[in-house]
Amino acid sequence: MCVGLPVLSRELALGVGSVWQALARNVFAIYVFHFPIVLLLQWALIEAPMPKLVRLFVTVIGAILGTFAFTNWIVMRLPLVRRIF
């Protein structure tokens, strides 16, 4: 399931736009790096003076955008790492 779900999402990517193609290319890298980025954001916001619900939304949106940006513009630009992912 852990390997099949990312492959299934890559193969059944709905849409033909450039965002869908980028997500399909990065699906395994996003799968690997999403959890550490979520933990980093939660750790950074743990003492933030805002309500818990706001911290949740900041973490969710930040993790989605941050993971996509990190994998698309940093991880996939490295030649050796690109062969792995």
Full pLDDT tens readout for the chain, 85 residues: 666 776 776 677 666 677 777 777 788 888 889 999 999 999 999 988 999 999 999 999 999 999 989 988 888 788 887 777 7
Buried b (16+ CB within 10 A) or exposed e, 40-55: ebeeebeeeeeeeeeb
Q: How many domains does the chain have?
A: 1
In 3D space, the residue among 1, 63, 65 whose CA is nearest the CA of residue 34 turns out to be: 63
Domain range for 17: 4-84
